Chains A and B, each alone.
Chain A
Amino acid sequence: EAGVVQSPRYKIIEKKQPVAFWCNPISGHNTLYWYRQNLGQGPELLIRYENEEAVDDSQLPKDRFSAERLKGVDSTLKIQPAELGDSAVYLCASSSGNNYGYTFGSGTRLTVV
């Protein structure tokens, strides 16, 4: 079984530019999460989807961040425009609500210069 797939693995952009990250969760996992991990810290939730519905986006900076999960499967997280402080690792995870088995992808390391 394939795990959670994220792309790209690394991204370097100039500030004020847009950037997008893509996540393909484990097949059958109805819950999808985007986390941000700053250097030296634990991951923090940005947004949680149940199928195609965003059920918790309270930590998503909505002035510049947006996310979507089309057809309740793949998801895209976008930043526009990027700021220096957005440099971090963006992790996608998925779970099936019955077994608390959160599976994380390898993450996208974003560097804003």
Chain B
Amino acid sequence: AQSVTQLGSHVSVSEGALVLLRCNYSSSVPPYLFWYVQYPNQGLQLLLKYTTGATLVKGINGFEAEFKKSETSFHLTKPSAHMSDAAEYFCAVTLANAGGTSYGKLTFGQGTILTVHP
């Protein structure tokens, strides 16, 4: 079984400041990890994903995340926040089966609402 914990349901930053959204996972097998963003009344948009290979993953809109197996973490960062980054962010995990294809079920964290102040 897998689970995801997002530390901090609300994060507030000033425009231009560093964005750090925390995600820790629990998984009995190597995980595949994702960050999604959700704007009001919209679906989920993929920001980035880690499956295999390089542990530092770059995504859209200047976001990146680093998979740290020893810390079971996959924190999301952006060097400089923009007003348009205000949204809710979800970390999610799925499992790779022995064949390397997706196990199928995405398990999400509770979400972190990011507020950006002028």
A contact residues vs B (CB 8 Å cutoff): 4, 31, 33, 35, 40-45, 48, 50, 55-56, 91, 93, 95, 97-98, 100-107, 109
Query: What residues of chain A lie closer than 8 Å to B45, measured between beta carbons?
Result: 104
The reply to whether A104 and B102 contact each other, CB–CB distance below 8 Å, is: no
From A31, A98, A100, A107, give the contact of B32 (CB < 8 A).
A100
- Smallest Cβ distance from A13 to chain B, in angstroms? 19
Do A91 and B94 form a contact, CB below 8 Å, given A40-B111, A97-B101? no
Do A98 and B108 form a contact, CB below 8 Å, given A91-B43, A91-B44, A104-B44? no
Q: Count residues of B near A (Cβ-Cβ below 8 Å).
A: 25
Query: What residues of chain A lie closer than 8 Å to B110, measured between beta carbons?
Result: 40-42
The reply to whether A106 and B42 contact each other, CB–CB distance below 8 Å, is: yes
From B104, B109, B111, give the contact of A55 (CB < 8 A).
B104
